[in-house]
A and B are shown apart, each in its own frame.
Chain A
């Protein structure tokens, strides 16, 4: 069964450092998303991406965040200068059509 793959599974970084979270979508999927889940809280939408551009973003997705699909396969989330409150589980999700998102296993980001 096809799946969305995220790397790394766990990333520890120092406050102020840049991190890049990677996602390999299912091959024929066109819509890509990043969500985050702070420990013990609900899953929050960050950004959606379609046709090589951001289609929607939430208030959380401020200037320190960026997304791109540099090589047509990987879909990345970059956090430029991490803060302690960025510690969370980050989920990538992809869709072929806007009906069912397939989630990756998540990347646990710990900012120290």
Chain B
């Protein structure tokens, strides 16, 4: 089965500190996309960052960066200088070219003032 695993149901971080959320996935394909989505209490789904599997360079978006380890099928999200507004559920997702998204179970991130 094609799965996405997030082993941390909950994480907390002190404001202004750095936190890393883990994600592993299973696929036999070589071409795919990986995403982190943020879901705040409003329950919207907001794209945080995405990574194309064929790119070796890790994606970065302002305070958000990923550590993509293709051989290990690992895709962790690092949030630097955490802010109170970062508190949310974070979902890792994988999309195979031409197929739909598969989401992980999510990690609830709390940011402590």
Interface set of A (CB-CB < 8 Å, partner B): 33, 35, 37, 41-45, 48, 56, 89, 91, 93, 98-103, 105-106, 108
Q: What number of residue pairs across chains A and B have CB atoms under 8 A from each other? A: 54
The tally of residues in B whose CB lies under 8 Å from a CB in A reads 24
Kindly specify which of B15-23, B42-50, B60-68, B80-88 makes contact with the partner chain.
Answer: B42-50
A88 to B99, CA, bound (A): 23
A105:B33 contact, CB within 8 angstroms: no
A108 to B45, CA, bound (A): 13
From A35, A101, A102, A108, give the contact of B95 (CB < 8 A).
A101
A108:B43 contact, CB within 8 angstroms: yes
Is B103's beta carbon under 8 Å from chain A?
Answer: yes
A100:B106 contact, CB within 8 angstroms: no
**A43-B103, A99-B52, A103-B47 given; 19 more Cβ-contact pairs under 8 Å:** A37-B43, A42-B105, A43-B93, A44-B103, A56-B99, A56-B100, A91-B45, A98-B97, A98-B98, A98-B99, A99-B33, A99-B50, A99-B95, A99-B97, A102-B47, A103-B45, A103-B46, A106-B43, A106-B45
